Structure 1
Amino acid sequence: MSALIPASSERAQQTLIESYATLLASVEYMHELANTEQWAELIDQRTNYVVQVEKLRELDAHVVLDTASQRRKAELLESILEHDVNIRRRLVARRDELGKLIGVTQRQRDLHRAYAPQQGAAVPFDADDADSTRSS
């Protein structure tokens, strides 16, 4: 098990705070992607975001912050979480939109299945055939 880095290690504290700032920049970019409905890119970025969070969690477990750094970390975390909540709201709205589209598509498919066989079963009326049966 790794020992905690003392609060006096300013470099370790700076590295941790910079990592949170980098995570904030990532989540701000993801929020912009969600707002502009760039869903594929958002999903790609979300994968990178998860990796960043895991690395940050590991680093955070080994660094003790002084009071000023704790305050800065709290500010960064608050901003990160605000963006994350907004991204999730956009994703829920998108999911609901896609659900409605899927419902419409399923209804169209069901209607097609219900009425398409009847269309094929109908025998078209041919006036020439009708005339030939009368003359015989």
Structure 2
Amino acid sequence: MAAIDTAHADNQQILLETYGELLSRAAQMQSLASTEQWPELIEQRTHYVVLVDKLRELDERVELDDAGKAQKADLLERILEHDVEIRRRLVTRRDELGKLIGVSRKQRDLHRAYAPQQGDPFQDEPAP
């Protein structure tokens, strides 16, 4: 029976440590979003998703005791706080990019509208 208790405690510890890794990754991602390091954020997101998948599997297999449940709840709350801030910054970035795309489209449309009327500036030049 002691071996089962030890294995359960080990599995619980692994699960909680993995949630701790996820919290660390979320904090790192928030820092990247705060400093607008978008390519690095995308790279970290890949590692984050891998951890989430690992946690999904662990959560199905490991039952936590009351202390473990409380610790998990605390970790999840902190992870979600980072997630909210990351999403807020991503929405801001999306809006900025949307504005840039709008400006670019207007410039393209203006160029298309006026470029044919301007003609080729080299067309009237005499041949050398």
Q: Scaled by the length of structure 2, what TM-score is found?
A: 0.87
In the alignment, the residues of structure 2 paired with residue 125 and residue 11 of structure 1 have an alpha-carbon distance, to the nearest angstrom, of 84
Query: In the alignment, which residue of structure 2 is the partner of 1:23?
Result: 22
Report the alpha carbon displacement of residue 117 of structure 1 after superposing the two structures with TM. 1.2
Query: In the alignment, which residue of structure 1 is the partner of 2:107?
Result: 108
Query: In the alignment, which residue of structure 2 is the partner of 1:117?
Result: 116
Query: In the alignment, which residue of structure 2 is the partner of 1:50?
Result: 49
Query: In the alignment, which residue of structure 2 is the partner of 1:40?
Result: 39
Percent of residue pairs identical: 63
In the alignment, the residues of structure 1 paired with residue 69 and residue 112 of structure 2 have an alpha-carbon distance, to the nearest angstrom, of 63
Report the alpha carbon displacement of residue 120 of structure 1 after superposing the two structures with TM. 1.1
In the alignment, the residues of structure 1 paired with residue 49 and residue 96 of structure 2 have an alpha-carbon distance, to the nearest angstrom, of 25
Over residues 23-58 of structure 1, what are the superposed CA-to-partner deviations in whole Å (9 max), with x where a residue is unaligned? Answer: 000010000000000101111111111111001110
Gaps of 5+ in 2: none
In the alignment, the residues of structure 1 paired with residue 111 and residue 33 of structure 2 have an alpha-carbon distance, to the nearest angstrom, of 35
Change (3 A) 1:125 1:49: closer
CA RMSD of aligned residues (A): 2.4
Equivalences, count:
122
Query: In the alignment, which residue of structure 2 is the partner of 1:71?
Result: 70
Report the alpha carbon displacement of residue 6 of structure 1 after superposing the two structures with TM. 6.6
* 2:89 partner SS: helix
In the alignment, the residues of structure 2 paired with residue 31 and residue 112 of structure 1 have an alpha-carbon distance, to the nearest angstrom, of 40
* 2:46 partner SS: helix
- For residues 7-22 of structure 1, the aligned pairs below 5 Å read 9-22=8-21
- Counterpart of 1:80, as a letter, is I
Q: Scaled by the length of structure 1, what TM-score is found?
A: 0.82
Report the alpha carbon displacement of residue 9 of structure 1 after superposing the two structures with TM. 1.8
Structure of larger gyration radius = 1
